[in-house]
């Protein structure tokens, strides 16, 4: 691994859920951070605690437009990650992934710097291989309602690898699986935040289908640790590397755990499965273990209470109606 010197790191999507935790970590490690965000799903509240930090800067900017800035590394996270948000304006979602990638890759090329891409397990689509390894090409609907995100992220990966092959750019592509934790958007419809907010507000927990579909849940601190380690790998390590927690839970099991931990009396309400909703999702993280010497440490039993505490505090302070939706 490279030695970990002080750097100026450009984090796109730095005001979002994962991005804000990454900014925290980079600041804690002694780096300078330039957070670039258009605040579509990210909030100023997520980074408010960094406001007086002299090594932290925020720039309101949409990555679909070119950006000229000096930095030592780029971590590209800008993109709404939840279906509710990325389906609000699907054309903008594709533009964010594709034009955004072109713009940050162009910047990295001009500066000759290393660049990280937050890709996603969604590049595997509704997978026919379990667990998913990085050499699986996926099973993706190119014309469905999730395609703006899935295909946008796939095209972004293509761009990263073509910049690597064509101009020798140093790239790190991580395929992130479901991640949860404090600062998730309370109204984003993702299953963990959805269940917790529903349980805390006494609303029915909405289960799509019979609840037998599985997901794996990675706590955000584990993900950030893996991202930082990946950036410190030798240039020969380009990815893609799966990052996630291989523990597999059914949606019904998750609902039961949330009810038990919150002590909520909420009922379960069954809704139809949305189209292209994957039946099973679980990462094979063998490559991450071997390459990064990393594996998740925070179990669902530890991570869920921390996340519940965050939402409980948020809802007490602001009330559900006061929580802003996407701009």
Contact set with ligand NAD (CB under 6 A) = 12-13, 15-19, 37-42, 62-64, 77-81, 96, 100, 118, 120, 176, 178-179, 185
- Residue 285 C-beta: closest distance to ligand NAD, Å: 14
- Residue 29 C-beta: closest distance to ligand NAD, Å: 19
Residue given tokens 């099991």 in the structure block:
253
CA distances from 56 to 23, 174, 207, 293 (A): 8, 24, 40, 29
- Residue 189 C-beta: closest distance to ligand NAD, Å: 12
By CB atoms closer than 10 A (0-12, 13-18, 19+), residue 210 is exposed
Residue 246 or 264: which CB sits closer to ligand NAD?
246
- Residue 278 C-beta: closest distance to ligand NAD, Å: 13
- Residue 263 C-beta: closest distance to ligand NAD, Å: 26
Q: Contact, 172 vs 115, CB < 8 A?
A: yes
Residues whose CB falls within 8 Å of the CB of residue 25, separated by 6 or more in sequence, listed in order: 224, 225, 228
Task: Look up residue 146 and give its DSSP letter.
Answer: T
Neighbours of 300 (CB within 10 A): 20
Residue 26 or 264: which CB sits closer to ligand NAD?
26
| Beta strands, E only, 252-307 | 268-271
Residue given tokens 């993702």 in the structure block:
190
Active site residues: 149
Q: Contact, 59 vs 82, CB < 8 A?
A: no
Residue 61 or 264: which CB sits closer to ligand NAD?
61
Residue 156 or 264: which CB sits closer to ligand NAD?
156
Beta-bridge mates of residue 59: 36
Kindly tell me the sign of the dihedral angle through the C-alpha atoms of 31, 103, 12, 228: negative
Residue 14 or 255: which CB sits closer to ligand NAD?
14
């Amino acid at each position: 691994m490279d030695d970990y010197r002080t750097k100026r790191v450009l984090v796109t999507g730095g005001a979002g859920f994962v991005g804000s935790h990454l900014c925290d970590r980079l600041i804690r490690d002694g780096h300078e951070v330039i957070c670039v965000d258009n605040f579509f799903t990210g909030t100023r509240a997520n980074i408010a605690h960094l406001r007086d930090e002299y090594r932290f800067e925020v720039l309101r900017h949409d990555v679909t437009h070119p950006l000229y800035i000096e930095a030592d590394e780029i971590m590209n996270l800008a993109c709404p990650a939840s279906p509710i948000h990325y389906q609000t304006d699907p054309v903008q979602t594709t533009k964010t992934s594709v034009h955004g990638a072109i713009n940050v890759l162009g910047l990295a090329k001009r500066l000759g710097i290393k660049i990280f891409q937050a890709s996603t397990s969604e590049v595997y689509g509704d997978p026919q291989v379990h667990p998913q390894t990085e050499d699986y090409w996926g099973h993706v609907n190119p014309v469905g309602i999730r395609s703006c995100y899935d295909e946008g992220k796939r095209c972004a990966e293509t761009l990263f690898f073509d910049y690597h092959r064509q101009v020798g750019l140093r790239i790190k592509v991580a395929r992130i699986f479901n991640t949860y934790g404090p600062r998730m958007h309370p109204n984003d419809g993702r299953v963990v935040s959805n269940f917790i907010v529903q349980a805390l507000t006494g609303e029915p927990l909405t289960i799509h289908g019979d609840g037998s579909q599985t997901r794996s849940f990675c706590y955000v601190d584990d993900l950030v640790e893996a991202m930082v380690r990946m950036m410190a790998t030798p240039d020969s390590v380009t990815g893609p590397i799966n990052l996630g927690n291989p523990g597999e839970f059914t949606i019904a099991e998750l609902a039961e755990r949330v009810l038990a931990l919150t002590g909520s009396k909420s009922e379960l309400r069954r809704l139809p499965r949305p189209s292209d909703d994957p039946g099973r999702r679980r990462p094979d993280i063998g490559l991450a273990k071997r390459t990064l010497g990393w594996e998740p440490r925070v179990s669902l039993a530890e991570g869920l209470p921390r996340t519940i505490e965050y939402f409980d505090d948020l809802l007490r302070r602001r009330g559900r109606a006061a929580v802003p939706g996407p701009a």
